[in-house]
Chains A and B, each alone.
Chain A
Amino acid sequence: DAGVIQSPRHEVTEMGQEVTLRCKPISGHDYLFWYRQTMMRGLELLIYFNNNVPIDDSGMPEDRFSAKMPNASFSTLKIQPSEPRDSAVYFCASSPTGLYGYTFGSGTRLTVV
């Protein structure tokens, strides 16, 4: 089992550019979560999906952020346009039940300059 796979591991981009982060959940996990981790705010849930359907996106900071899950094995988090305050580590996690068995990916470190 390869675990939750995120790409890229590191992303440096200029302010105003579009950024797309990718996640492949563990096969058979019906829930997928996107988190953001910063020094100031710790780990925050942005959005989560159940069976590819967004269930709760109340943590998405603003309209510049969007997430999709076109199929059970792939999800994207897009920021357009990116701003320096979006700099953070973004984690994807998946779970078979939504409650137990959370497994996190290794994260994408985003730096917006």
Chain B
Amino acid sequence: AQSVTQLDSQVPVFEEAPVELRCNYSSSVSVYLFWYVQYPNQGLQLLLKYLSGSTLVKGINGFEAEFNKSQTSFHLRKPSVHISDTAEYFCAVNTGNQFYFGTGTSLTVIP
């Protein structure tokens, strides 16, 4: 079975500082990769996705992620965070017929 590891459960960062949220997955077969954001008591919203092509993908709200096949990673980055980025972030892998989610990273932006 596929596993998705989000290496940091909580990440505090000061406003306007850069941030990286790490995600590793176990599968060596072709996968589709996603990052979602969740605000309190709400559903998940898609930030960005990698299906094929360029390994650097850009998403909404200034986020980007890089697919590294050799390291089976898909880390999420933002060069300058805002207070409104405080939320839970989930990495997800789809092997073609099912999603597998990480346990989430809670990002807290400190004023």
Whether both chains belong to one complex is answered with: no
Residues of A within 8 A of B (CB): none
